[in-house]
């Protein structure tokens, strides 16, 4: 009886992970604006002060590609291992379906950032 309870628990846990796998795959495929940043990056702090994660995610481009902040000092997470050749922080990389759509390197102020970000997100298919 004790053994059956453990077996049932293991089967339920395995079934639960199978149900979550498609959701994780969909999340990895969903468009995201990845912000490659470092704690000691002054332009990163400026972007956070002038625009910030909340304002980005509430904007039209942000609703289509929510922000994913990545501290590059910790390394890139596995789903972003394909990103190459970034040299400055912040670098904003629009990703979808496991591929890079485009990027913005650096931050020179909101007047320059918004038009570039909007043009980048406009490259995503509607739907």
Q: What would the pLDDT profile of 93-122 be if each residue is shown by its tens digit?
A: 999 999 999 999 999 999 999 999 999 999
pLDDT at 126 over 90: no
126 falls within a domain: no
CATH code of the domain covering residue 51? 3.40.30.10
Number of domains making up the chain: 2
Tell me, yes or no, whether 42 and 67 share the same domain.
Answer: yes
Domain extent, residue 73, equals 31-121
pTM: 0.78
The full 3-state SS of 3-61, as one line of letters, equals: HHHHHHHHHHHHHHHHHHHHHHHHHHHCCEEEEEECCCCHHHHHHHHHCHHHHHHHCHH
pLDDT band at 55 (very low <50, low <70, confident <90, very high): very high
Residue 96 lies in a domain: yes
Shared-domain flag, residues 114 and 52: yes
């Amino acid at each position: 009886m004790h053994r059956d309870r453990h077996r049932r628990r293991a089967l339920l846990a395995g079934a639960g992970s199978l149900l979550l796998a498609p959701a994780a795959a969909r999340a990895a495929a969903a468009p995201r604006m990845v912000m490659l940043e470092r704690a000691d990056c002054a332009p990163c702090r400026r972007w956070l002060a002038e625009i910030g994660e909340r304002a980005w995610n509430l904007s039209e481009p942000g609703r289509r590609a929510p922000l994913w902040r990545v501290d590059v000092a910790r390394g890139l997470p596995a789903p972003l291992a394909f990103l190459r050749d970034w040299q400055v922080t912040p670098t904003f990389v629009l990703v979808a379906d496991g591929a890079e759509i485009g990027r913005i390197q650096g931050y020179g102020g909101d007047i320059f950032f918004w038009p570039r970000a909007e043009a980048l997100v406009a490259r995503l298919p509607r739907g």
